[in-house]
Amino acid sequence: MAIVAKILPVKYKNYFDWVKTYDVKTVSPVIELTDGAKIKDTIIELLFTKGKTMFDYLLVTFDSKIYIVERDGDSSYCKRDITYHPMMNLVKLSVG
């Protein structure tokens, strides 16, 4: 099956992250989805369930567009269409 979406969870580093490690950036594994219907469920799970304290925002590629998805309340989120992000090459969909 073809990959229809990719999601990269991103966390801002805080003081203690910098003290523990000298790595400039820590990259979470990219989540690849083959079913477009599971995108919303995965976003909700990452932002509000298991990732609430782990991730600050998500970098999402779907339908050849790249979005930043962020929490904007206790149970809601918003998305912004972007044209550039330093880690956008990790979520690019291959044409095929």
Between CA 7 and CA 87 the distance in angstroms is 11
Nearest Cα residue to 1 out of 92, 89, 96, 65: 96
Residue 21 Cα distances to 13, 88, 91, angstroms? 10, 24, 25
Is pLDDT at 71 greater than 70 in this prediction? Answer: yes
pLDDT at position 17, please?
64
Query: In this predicted structure, what is the pLDDT of residue 18?
Result: 62
Instruction: In whole angstroms, give the CA distance from residue 28 to residue 46.
Output: 12
Least confident of 17-21, 33-37, 73-77: 17-21
Q: pTM for this one?
A: 0.83
Task: State the pLDDT confidence band at 39, using cuts at 50, 70 and 90.
Answer: very high
What φ, ψ does residue 32 adopt, rounded to 5°? -105, 130
pLDDT at 25: 55
Hey, is 77 helix, strand or coil? strand
Q: Rounded to an integer, what distance in angstroms lies between the CA atom of residue 1 and that of residue 52? A: 30
Write the pLDDT tens digit of every residue in 78-88: 999 999 999 99
